[in-house]
Amino acid sequence: MRFRVERDVLAEAVTWTARSLPTRPPVPVLAGVRLEASSSGVVQLSSFDYEVSARSEIAADVSEPGTVLVSGRLLAEISRALPGKPVDVVLEGNKVTLTCGASRFTLLTMPVDDYPALPAMPDLAGTIDGAELTSAVAQVTVAASRDDTLPLLTGVRMEIEGDVITLLATDRYRLAMRVLSWHPASPGMSSVALVRARTLSDAAKSLGGSNQVSLALSTGGGVDLIGFEAGGRHTTSLLVDGDYPPVRRLFPDETPIHAVVATQALTDAARRVALVAERNTPIRLAFSEGQLVLDAGQGDDAQASEALEAVLVGDDITVAFNPQFLLDGLGALSTDFVRMSFTHPNKPVEFTGQESLEGEDISSYRYLLVPIRFAS
What is the predicted pLDDT for the residue at 298? 78
Domain end (from 96, 114, 132): 114
Looking at 230, 248, 266, which one is the last position of a domain? Answer: 248
pLDDT interval class at 302 (50, 70, 90): confident
Assess whether 224 and 332 both reside in one domain.
Answer: no
pLDDT above 70 (res 365):
yes
Q: Number of helices (H) and strands (E) in the chain: give both, helices first.
A: 6, 27
Distance CA 143, CA 172 (A): 9
106 and 190 housed in the same domain = no
Alpha-carbon distance of 13 to 19, in angstroms, equals 10
Q: Kindly indicate the confidence band of residue 360, based on its pLDDT and cuts at 50, 70 and 90.
A: confident
Helix, strand or coil for residue 286?
strand
User: Do 195 and 136 reside in the same domain of the chain?
Assistant: yes
Beta-sheet strand order (sheet of 257-262): 190-196, 155-161, 164-170, 174-181, 362-369, 349-354, 337-342, 257-262, 311-313
Contact 242, 229 (CB under 8 A): no
Least confident of 171-180, 213-222, 228-237: 213-222
Percent of all residues in the chain with a pLDDT value above 90, rounded to a whole number = 81
- 186 and 144 in a common domain: yes
Q: What CATH number is associated with residue 162?
A: 3.10.150.10
Show which of 199, 222, 248 is a domain's final residue: 248
171 and 101 fall within a common domain: no
Answer whether residue 256 shows pLDDT above 90.
yes
Based on the fold, state whether residues 14 and 106 are members of the same structural domain: yes
The secondary structure element, H or E, covering residue 331 is helix 323-332
DSSP β-bridge partners for residue 127: 183, 214
- Domain count for the chain, please give it: 3
Q: Residue 219's pLDDT band (boundaries 50, 70, 90)? A: low
Q: Look over the chain and give the mean of its residue pLDDT values, rounded to a whole number.
A: 92
Q: Is 268's pLDDT higher than 70?
A: yes
- Domain for residue 150, yes or no? yes
| Residues 171 and 276 reside in one and the same domain | no
pLDDT in tens, 54-100: 999 999 999 999 999 999 999 999 999 999 999 999 999 999 999 99
Residue 106's pLDDT band, with cuts at 50, 70 and 90, is very high
The reply to whether 375 falls in a domain is no
Average pLDDT in the 323-332 region?
A: 96
119, part of any domain? no
CA dist list (Å): 174 to 1, 34, 196, 230, 347 = 52, 40, 17, 32, 12
**Separation between Cα atoms, residue 72 and residue 9, nearest integer Å:** 16
For residues 184-207, average pLDDT: 92
Q: Is the pLDDT of residue 215 over 70?
A: yes
Q: How many CB atoms lie within 10 A of CB 8?
A: 13
- Tell me what pLDDT residue 149 has: 87
* Higher per-residue confidence, 210 vs 225: 225
pLDDT computed for residue 356 by the predictor: 82
The average pLDDT across 22-47 equals 94
Which of the four pLDDT bands, split at 50, 70 and 90, describes residue 339? Answer: very high
- CA–CA separation, 62 vs 191, rounded Å? 42
Q: How confident is the model at residue 375 (pLDDT cuts 50, 70, 90)?
A: low
Residue 300: inside a domain, yes or no?
A: yes
> Which pLDDT does position 209 carry in this prediction?
80
Distance CA 309, CA 32 (A): 56
Q: Looking at the domain assignment, is residue 166 inside a domain?
A: yes
Residue 220 has pLDDT above 80, yes or no: no
Domain, as residue range, for 198: 124-248
